[in-house]
Amino acid sequence: MTEKFMIGTYTSKTSKGIYGVTLDTDAEKLSTPWVVAETQKPSYLQVIDDKVAAVKQAGKDGGIATYQIENDHATMLDQSLAAGSPPAYVSYDAEKHLLFSANYHTGDIKVYKVDDGWKLTLTDSVHHEGATGPEPEQDSPHPHFADLTPDHRLVVCDLGMDLVVVYDLSDDGKLTAKSRYQSEAGFGSRHITFSPDGKFAYLLGELSSKLEVLKYNAENGAFAHVQTIKTIPADWTSHNGAAAIHMTKDGKFIYTSNRGENTIAVFAIQADGTVEHIQSISTEGDFPRDFELSTTEEYLVAANQNTDNLSLYKRNDQTGKLTLLQKDVPSPEPVCVKKW
């Protein structure tokens, strides 16, 4: 059997845009990637059935674009660009037919209505303002994530403000702030994921290389702190930036990537929702910005941005631990991996 993944990239060196790669589960190997769409700086993307929503840059303008997939390639349907840097994250609400973007550089969260032809209409924009953290990277608000909660609110992680904001979301794409959760100074809130039952959230701090376990209250959209744990060894002194976080569908394991230590850290979720670190395994490259589990969650694909390569792992569904299967799969400037 085969399964495809889509790779978002930077395009500052040799990358041409969005790539695809095939996993042969019989041979347990990844193919050589191919170009799916030539575009500038598609650093984050989402695959939605036979469509793609991706970050896009065009000269000095940045924004998002939508694409139609056909025969392993994608053709652009529409784009929404504005002066300035492109966003860091894009997500989709299939029920309301809305796209969301979080712009690290401008501090803006934008909402777009998507019509039947995947044309984009801006419905709302929120600009983050306020106190920021003490680290050099926290010179201003930096929204790095905007995606749905299990109860279909929008949750935004702001790395610059050490902040998570939950917004109520109307059917016509309007945002109303519901709650704010403040992490410790310098935490660097980057990405968040939720347990299958929606009762717990797991917040990853890029600048602190820490993982926070939070209780989520669906009645008021608020978070309460439960646990904080490092994603790297206590004696690690070199630079590290935590990046991606994913949870298995059974709610038993969490995986995070470390850019610096260059590892995938594995955590087992306990009965009370807290986590225990059980493994750290090399990504066999430098700066693993993202990774993705296969549909069956039997495999994990990690992307090393600075060394232009992918690594493939087998996952034990009982222990949660990873075993390296393949490394050094050439892939230019990979920074996002999504099931296709």
Q: For 216-251, how does the pLDDT look when each residue is reduced to its tens digit (9 = 90+)?
A: 999 999 999 999 999 999 999 999 999 999 999 999
Q: How far apart are CA 276 and CA 30, in angstroms?
A: 30
Burial per residue of 223-260, b for 16 or more beta-carbon CB atoms within 10 angstroms, e otherwise: beebebebbbeeeeeeebbbbbbbbbeeebbbbbbbbb
Residue type, 153: R
Looking at residue 327, the DSSP 8-state letter turns out to be: E
What are 202's two structure tokens?
A: 């797991």
Burial class (CB in 10 A: 0-12, 13-18, 19+), 2: exposed
User: What are 291-336's pLDDT values in tens digits?
Assistant: 999 999 999 999 999 999 999 999 999 999 999 999 999 999 999 9
Tell me if 104 sits within 8 A of 142, measured CB to CB.
yes
pLDDT score, position 336: 98
Strand pairing partners for 2?
Answer: 24
pLDDT score, position 149: 98
Tell me if 167 sits within 8 A of 174, measured CB to CB.
no
Looking at residue 40, the DSSP 8-state letter turns out to be: B
What are 296's two structure tokens?
A: 């069956």
pLDDT score, position 259: 98
Residues of the chain with pLDDT under 70: none
pLDDT score, position 21: 98
